[in-house]
């Protein structure tokens, strides 16, 4: 009986200690993440000569032109499209004062559809796989940042409670970014379950004991 | 709407001259029927209908601006 209590007491103690550790861990992870992002931007700057020529200016301006055509044919006028290289990805940024909502669509559905079509057209024309990200008003970029911080918070919770946490369904590109957060993590595992639109990430804090 | 879908489809296929889009306009609904060369059907539909669904989404966005519903069908030739 006493032993049990002792154990209980110690397990509590261990847990309390763990609490402290994990919050540190999360900080470290966040730090590692920001460091990684810095490195990412740096590598794109450095390798700009080789890597961003992956898509020649001709291809980029073709996509820009097609995008503009599509928007105008959809009755959305007055948009500006700028090509940007962000963290190793080529972005086409659309800015429009009045109709950003229509360009983005529900949960980014319209952006995603535009992107699929533009990439398919470019693939048809240049016979090489092309993956441009189409974004409006930094919507996707900000969404991704918030998904990442949400995932880190869930990981912290999972670690404290030694449990699994299921995240909201996300698309493939978003899931990939989240998995990359945990790929070098010894204590946190992430994997996806479900099919199609239901496919989502599960964050699992491994039980060490 | 017809112009939008026609531009998209022509950009995807090997035989743009064979692209035909017919538009039926009702009071609150539009029906678009796409027909392309036999060899091109796969390119318009895409893997698991990904491209077909993207075309539908974009068409829906354009139609919503006019307060209409839209149906986009890809026709197979007999």
ipTM of the complex: 0.92
The C-alpha of A117 sits at a distance from chain B's nearest C-alpha, in angstroms, of 7
Q: How far is CA A56 from the centre of its chain?
A: 25
Q: Pick from A69, A105, A125: which is nearest to B61 by CB?
A: A105
Domain containing residue B13: 2-75
Are residues A72 and A22 both part of a single domain? Answer: yes
Domain count, chain A: 2
Are residues A102 and A157 both part of a single domain? Answer: no
What CATH number does the domain containing A105 carry?
3.30.300.20
Are residues A152 and A199 both part of a single domain? Answer: yes
Domain count, chain B: 1
What is residue B77's predicted lDDT score, i.e. its pLDDT?
Answer: 72
Sort out which chain A residues have CB atoms less than 8 A from B51's CB and list them. Answer: 116-117, 120
Answer whether B13 touches A (CB < 8 Å).
yes
What CATH number does the domain containing B68 carry?
3.30.300.20
Residue carrying the six token digits 């017919």: B22
pLDDT 10s digits, A5-14: 555 555 544 4
> CA A37 → CA A29, A131, A146, A181, distances in Å?
12, 20, 15, 11
Best B57, B59, B66 residue to mutate vs chain A (most A CBs within 10 Å): B57
Domain containing residue A158: 141-205
End-to-end Cα, chain A, rounded Å: 22
What is residue A18's predicted lDDT score, i.e. its pLDDT?
Answer: 44
Are residues A28 and A90 both part of a single domain? Answer: yes
What is residue A7's predicted lDDT score, i.e. its pLDDT?
Answer: 53
Are residues A121 and A162 both part of a single domain? Answer: no
pLDDT at A20 over 50: no
Among A137, A161, A183, where does a domain finish? A137
CA distance A88 to A47: 9
Answer whether B57 touches A (CB < 8 Å).
yes
Among A137, A159, A193, where does a domain finish? A137
Q: How does residue A86 score in pLDDT terms, banded at 50, 70 and 90?
A: confident
Among A137, A160, A183, where does a domain finish? A137
Are residues A52 and A8 both part of a single domain? Answer: yes
pLDDT at A41 over 60: no
Are residues A154 and A69 both part of a single domain? Answer: no
Are residues A76 and A178 both part of a single domain? Answer: no
Mean pLDDT of B18-33: 93
Q: Pick from A69, A112, A120: which is nearest to B7 by CB?
A: A69
Are residues A133 and A172 both part of a single domain? Answer: no
Are residues A126 and A172 both part of a single domain? Answer: no
Are residues A112 and A164 both part of a single domain? Answer: no
Q: What sign results for the dihedral spanned by CA atoms B48, B72, A199, A28?
A: positive
What CATH number does the domain containing A193 carry?
3.30.1370.50
pLDDT 10s digits, A94-107: 998 888 999 999 88
């Amino acid at each position: 009986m006493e032993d049990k209590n002792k154990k209980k007491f110690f397990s509590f103690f261990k847990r309390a200690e763990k609490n402290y550790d994990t919050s540190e861990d999360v900080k470290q992870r966040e730090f590692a993440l920001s460091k990684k992002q810095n490195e990412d931007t740096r590598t794109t700057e450095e390798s700009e000569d080789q890597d961003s020529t992956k898509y020649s200016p001709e291809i980029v301006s073709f996509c820009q032109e097609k995008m503009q055509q599509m928007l105008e044919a959809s009755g959305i006028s007055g948009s500006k499209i700028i090509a940007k290289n962000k963290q190793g990805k080529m972005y086409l940024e659309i800015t429009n004062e009045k109709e950003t909502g229509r360009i983005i669509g529900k949960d980014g559905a319209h952006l995603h559809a535009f992107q699929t079509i533009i990439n398919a057209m470019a693939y048809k024309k240049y016979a090489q796989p092309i993956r441009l990200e189409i974004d409006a008003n930094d919507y996707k970029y900000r969404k991704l940042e918030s998904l990442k911080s949400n995932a880190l918070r869930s990981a912290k919770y999972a670690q404290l409670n030694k449990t699994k946490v299921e995240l909201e369904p996300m698309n493939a590109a978003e899931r990939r970014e989240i998995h990359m957060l945990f790929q070098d993590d010894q204590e946190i595992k992430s994997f996806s379950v479900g099919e199609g639109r239901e496919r989502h990430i599960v964050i699992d804090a491994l039980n060490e004991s | 709407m017809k112009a939008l879908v026609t531009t998209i489809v022509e950009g995807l296929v090997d035989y743009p001259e064979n692209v035909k889009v017919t538009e039926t306009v009702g009071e609150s609904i539009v029906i678009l029927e796409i027909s392309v060369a036999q060899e091109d059907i796969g390119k318009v539909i895409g893997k698991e209908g990904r491209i077909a669904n993207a075309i539908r989404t974009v068409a829906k966005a354009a139609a919503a601006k006019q307060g209409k519903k839209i149906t986009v069908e890809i026709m197979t030739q007999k």
